[in-house]
Structure 1
Amino acid sequence: MLLQKNLHTLRKLYPTLAKRISWPVDSNHIIEKDNKIGYVLHDTPYPISLSRKKLQRFAKHAPYSKDVLLWGCGVGDILDVLLAKQNNIVLWERDPWLLRILLKRRDFGPFLRSGQLRILLGSDIVLERGNLQDYQMMGHPFFSSLYKFEKNIVLKPQAPIVFLCKGELFVSDVGNILQHRGYAVYMWDVECLSHDEVVYGALMAKPSLCVSINYRYGLAEIVERTSSKLLVWEIDPSMDRIRNVETDTKSSFIYTWRAAHIDSFRRSGFQNVKYLPLATNTKRCFPTKGTLEERDVYGCSVSFVGASLVDQGQHYRDVFLSSYAQWSGREDGSEKLQGLMREQSKDLSIFIADELLGYWFPDFSKAMEDAQVSLSSLLGEWIACLKRQSYVMALQDHDIQVWGDRGWSGVPNYRGQAGHLREVVHVYRRSIINIDINRIYQPDIVTMRVFDVIATGGFILTEYTPALDDLFDVGVEIATYTTMDDLIEKVDFYRSHPEERTRIIQAGRKRVHAEHTMEHRLTTMLSAIHEK
């Protein structure tokens, strides 16, 4: 078996590397079918094998007998060309699973033993960056952009290293700002890699700072071992209660978009916890006139862009019911839950699930008080789903257009998904009124949607929360509603008063640029760290 043969060679030459490649790793992002390999990014599979035409074009311009640093192995087709042209190659790959796929393709023993090929995995690039300055850098067409941050580690060998936890929302924005401020950013995949590899990378590279969007259990303990500092910006709801930390947290700094979470973090052992609202990236969210095609595709009177919460809500509702059935040994959970939901549905502007649980499930609620996942959190997503569906349906007579996941497919005027980085911005710009419907169980936050819409020059009608008063002059810089009926009335009013919309848009955008950009938030967080 070629994989084992190559690993045997690596064990003789680079025993630690061979062990790391063999450690457990999540492979759900890789699709292997009919001898073809696909890489799943943002729920979309992309082929990573080059066509014959592209490979011939690459071979035509590939260097001969040079020192080459290759970013990303893909399936090995580019590597084959470079080896055939007698180049000395350092191959860097962040993903151990892709390396396993590569090592199953052919026997690389002769190239490894001769030194013509050397493999670097993950954080090795930090340790080797001072030795790679004279190498010609080349990248796999797909992975070259995916590994864009790591390139800067080599290009700026003296820059301080930041480990940025790999993820979705905000991660790329934060990485770009850190890089602009002189840091070299390494994407730290704490979710897919084995715990051993996560710890190994941090201990060997010794980053000056570790940054995470949302807290991951165990991060504080890992970072404390590196003598580094941990910066966390919590921006998303979590079903789990915050677990107690098992280390000193003087070097961990937690910023949360919910002031209500400050006490929870502190009770769990975190010393440095502060409230910090969300913000926008003005380099991505800005006004433009746009093309006629954009106006035709995205232009509408009223829009909502966001998750339906259908899948999440149903999943957590089912978890609640199965937990109740297992605890009680009874089958009356569904009937009781329907009664609870009838009461909650009478007013979807106020979350009263905690009180209702005490009435409909008193003994179960008491028994589960200290559970890792709170019962009200499990029901929260389902109630939030019903609220969004109800508010959107109430605006059908106003021709509301909806972009989001397939949970909205049963709603009239469902327009499909809108990509977060580009397409969603077009919707914000081209809608006369953008609607913001917050999750019912977190009424104390200001959503990212608010800042993004305002930054694009769009008009947003958002649900009122006292947190808005600290960020905007309500009624002057932002428009709000309180109930479903109030929402409908405000939509009618602002549709027929364009001059009022324009006044609020201009005032709001001025405030966002002055105080609520990602740059402002990073300045706040980094300043606090450097003061300690």
Structure 2
Amino acid sequence: MPGRWPVCKNIPSKKSIEKGTRRPMQQKLPERFSMTTLEKNLAALMPVNEDLVRRICLPVDGTHIHFLQGGEARYQRHRTLLPFVVGKEDFLSTLGDANIGENIFLFGIGLGEQLDYLLEHFKEAGITVWDRDPWLVRLVLMQRDYSQYIGSGQLQLHMCADLFGMLDTVKSASVICHPFLRSVYENEYKLVEDGVGKKRAIICSGDLFVDDVGKILRGFGYSLYTLEIKKLALEEIETAIQRFDPNMIIAINYTNGLAEMCHSQGVDLICWEVDPAADRLKPCNAPTDRAFIFTYRKANVRAFIQAGFKNVEYLPLASNIEKRFPAELSLKEKESYGSSLSFVGSSMIEQAKSFRDIFLSHYKAYCGGSPNAVEEGNRLLEEILSVQRQDLSTYRIPDLLSQYFSDFISYLFNLPGAHNPFMLVGEIAAAEKRINYIASLGRLGLNVWGDQGWRITEQYGVKYMGSAGHTYEINKIYSASLVNVDINRLYQADIVTMRVFDIMACGGFVLAEYSRDLDELFEIGKEVEAYHTLDELLSKASYYLDHRGEALEIAERGREAVRNNHTIEKRVKYMLSVAMNNQ
């Protein structure tokens, strides 16, 4: 979470605004974005809403907005870059029944295209704009001079937690939504539609899993507000909590400092860890009686307890059966998605390259910036990986790192903010394992969906099918494949992945890597099939390709097991009951 920012008593200087704007990895903005224009708009806003001016100048992460070489914008949602430009036809279709003389509430400022149109064509209307993202508000104020509209009162700007105080006045206005941000701000739009109920929860932003949990919570009657805890300044986060006054904060995956913040605000924390974390878990420096941690991995329970958390338990992953279900395919779709043997997922190649660079940059710093440090570190790293490659079914990275880099590992663990070295190198080894297993399956006619990194396996007979959408396209792949393969990360072969639950929910047969957890959750050989080694994976894949009827029977029983016992709705209901019973 970005830190605090000093209160602006006067109009912020250009230098102070730029300081609040800079973030790691933030790209240079196109020329149309001007600090001078921003200063002029803030000067007009200062006598109207000094608090908003100060908050606009707080540190904010803008790395989710990307600009191509020609200046065209892309919005990164989850892990996908999406076009972020509103054409005239798009925003005309959002006008609805808005009248020239009435008040208008613009839900989502975007890059200002709709706002500019409204100011030009609805000159007698009062226009109130709200956006959840301070970075977008700042970009719009850098792009065009709105000072006369702000000064006259025709244009009123709001952001983040301001929404809670605007809900009554919005009822008398024509609501116009940004065509893209409407879905991104789903929780907030429900507040505009329905108001704030008695049951309130803040949900921390994140990947696709967050959307599933949010929809379930809304179904349980909760009013939700989404908090960008990794992008906003701490002061903006605290303001949202104080104004919304939630019963609890829900997080998918833990962020260091989150428990301390929840304790300082007197609100319960429910966190479901569903992914491996690259950074190290730090000791919690606050009481954790009201923090409830659920982790997908039994081995992580001890780590959280050692970090000072009292309420920690294992909770396996699950599937959203409203989104994952058997797909009915047309003949054409069967040709596109049908496969005897398939795998859907990341090649992990780019992440492995990134983690290798991070590891070596830390090593270079440890060596005092020596020009030979990267070469030496890479040589030692290759020696470690070559030993690990000899047996990809047994995770040896921690012992090998301690043997080859003992002093460096101690240095990293005492370095504030440093990455977890075991995780960095573990991801590299995990990528190599995944590539090796997929390449070996090429001889059986494997189709693979995912990123371009998979092309490296085409030389081994693997057919690369391109990327798979996260919505219903995956259902078609899982449903149309006779054998769906699951490959765990090398360093967490003890878990049951989300992929296993989703394949089974779609009625697909899954050949998963064996773990004790898999054996506890499902009946192996009747609801799911499992392998221990690469040789066993190849052997069982060949067997079930020749015994289609057995695979289909296992798949049907597996689907019923997931629907009855392993849905995200059941997991969320359980977490809520644990928290409520401990109040």
Would you say same fold, with TM above 0.5?
yes
Q: Work out which of the residue numbers 415, 433, 445 in structure 2 matches 1:387.
A: 433
AA at the equivalent of 2:128: V
List alignment gaps of at least 5 residues for structure 1.
Answer: none
- Paired residue secondary structure (2:166): helix
Cα distance change of structure 1 residues 511 and 110 upon mapping to structure 2, 3 Å threshold: same
- Paired residue secondary structure (1:104): helix
The answer to whether the aligner puts 1:13 opposite 2:13 as a matched pair is no
The answer to whether the aligner puts 1:313 opposite 2:347 as a matched pair is no
Cα distance change of structure 1 residues 225 and 336 upon mapping to structure 2, 3 Å threshold: closer
Q: Work out which of the residue numbers 18, 21, 37 in structure 2 matches 1:2.
A: 37
1:381-402: CA deviation from partner (whole Å, max 9, x where unpaired) = 1111111111111111101111
Q: 1:68, CA displacement in angstroms?
A: 2.4
- Paired residue secondary structure (1:247): coil
AA at the equivalent of 2:401: L
Native 8 Å contact 1:313 1:382 kept in 2:
yes
- Whole-angstrom distance in 2 between the partners of 1:93 and 1:327: 43
Indicate the residue corresponding to 2:454 in structure 1: 408
List alignment gaps of at least 5 residues for structure 2.
Answer: 1-35
- Paired residue secondary structure (2:47): helix
- Paired residue secondary structure (2:66): strand
Q: 1:365, CA displacement in angstroms?
A: 4.9
Indicate the residue corresponding to 1:233 in structure 2: 272
- Whole-angstrom distance in 2 between the partners of 1:468 and 1:57: 49
1:350-409: CA deviation from partner (whole Å, max 9, x where unpaired) = 112223334444554566565654433222111111111111111111011111122212
Identity of aligned residues (%): 37
Indicate the residue corresponding to 2:75 in structure 1: 39
Q: 1:100, CA displacement in angstroms?
A: 1.9
- Paired residue secondary structure (2:129): strand
Indicate the residue corresponding to 2:210 in structure 1: 171
Q: Work out which of the residue numbers 343, 356, 364 in structure 2 matches 1:304.
A: 343
Indicate the residue corresponding to 2:10 in structure 1: none
- Whole-angstrom distance in 2 between the partners of 1:128 and 1:383: 51
Q: 1:205, CA displacement in angstroms?
A: 2.4
- Whole-angstrom distance in 2 between the partners of 1:35 and 1:317: 31
Cα distance change of structure 1 residues 141 and 296 upon mapping to structure 2, 3 Å threshold: same
Cα distance change of structure 1 residues 263 and 102 upon mapping to structure 2, 3 Å threshold: same
The answer to whether the aligner puts 1:516 opposite 2:566 as a matched pair is yes
Q: Output the aligned Cα RMSD.
A: 2.3
The answer to whether the aligner puts 1:222 opposite 2:272 as a matched pair is no
1:75-131: CA deviation from partner (whole Å, max 9, x where unpaired) = 323223434322222211011122122223444334334443322201211233244
Between 1:337-346 and 1:26-35, the stretch displaced more is 26-35
Indicate the residue corresponding to 1:274 in structure 2: 313
- Whole-angstrom distance in 1 between the partners of 2:506 and 2:519: 21
Indicate the residue corresponding to 1:182 in structure 2: 221
Indicate the residue corresponding to 1:73 in structure 2: 109
AA at the equivalent of 1:198: I
AA at the equivalent of 2:115: L
Q: 1:336, CA displacement in angstroms?
A: 3.4
Give the total of aligned pairs: 532
AA at the equivalent of 1:382: I
Native 8 Å contact 1:202 1:223 kept in 2:
no
- Whole-angstrom distance in 1 between the partners of 2:354 and 2:410: 23
Between 1:148-157 and 1:395-404, the stretch displaced more is 148-157
TM-score normalised according to structure 2 size: 0.86
Q: 1:332, CA displacement in angstroms?
A: 4.2
Between 1:19-28 and 1:388-397, the stretch displaced more is 19-28
- Paired residue secondary structure (1:302): strand
1:443-465: CA deviation from partner (whole Å, max 9, x where unpaired) = 21100000000000111100000
- Whole-angstrom distance in 1 between the partners of 2:163 and 2:261: 20
Indicate the residue corresponding to 1:355 in structure 2: 399
1:441-486: CA deviation from partner (whole Å, max 9, x where unpaired) = 1121100000000000111100000011221111111100000000
Q: Work out which of the residue numbers 467, 490, 502 in structure 2 matches 1:452.
A: 502
AA at the equivalent of 2:189: K
- Whole-angstrom distance in 1 between the partners of 2:95 and 2:407: 70
Cα distance change of structure 1 residues 423 and 58 upon mapping to structure 2, 3 Å threshold: closer
1:324-365: CA deviation from partner (whole Å, max 9, x where unpaired) = 455467664444333332322221111122233344445545
- Whole-angstrom distance in 2 between the partners of 1:295 and 1:269: 52
Cα distance change of structure 1 residues 240 and 465 upon mapping to structure 2, 3 Å threshold: same
Native 8 Å contact 1:59 1:81 kept in 2:
no
AA at the equivalent of 1:271: K
Native 8 Å contact 1:478 1:505 kept in 2:
yes
Cα distance change of structure 1 residues 523 and 5 upon mapping to structure 2, 3 Å threshold: same
- Whole-angstrom distance in 2 between the partners of 1:348 and 1:421: 32
- Whole-angstrom distance in 1 between the partners of 2:378 and 2:209: 38
TM-score normalised according to structure 1 size: 0.94
- Paired residue secondary structure (2:283): coil
1:127-168: CA deviation from partner (whole Å, max 9, x where unpaired) = 332443333322011122222210111222241332111111
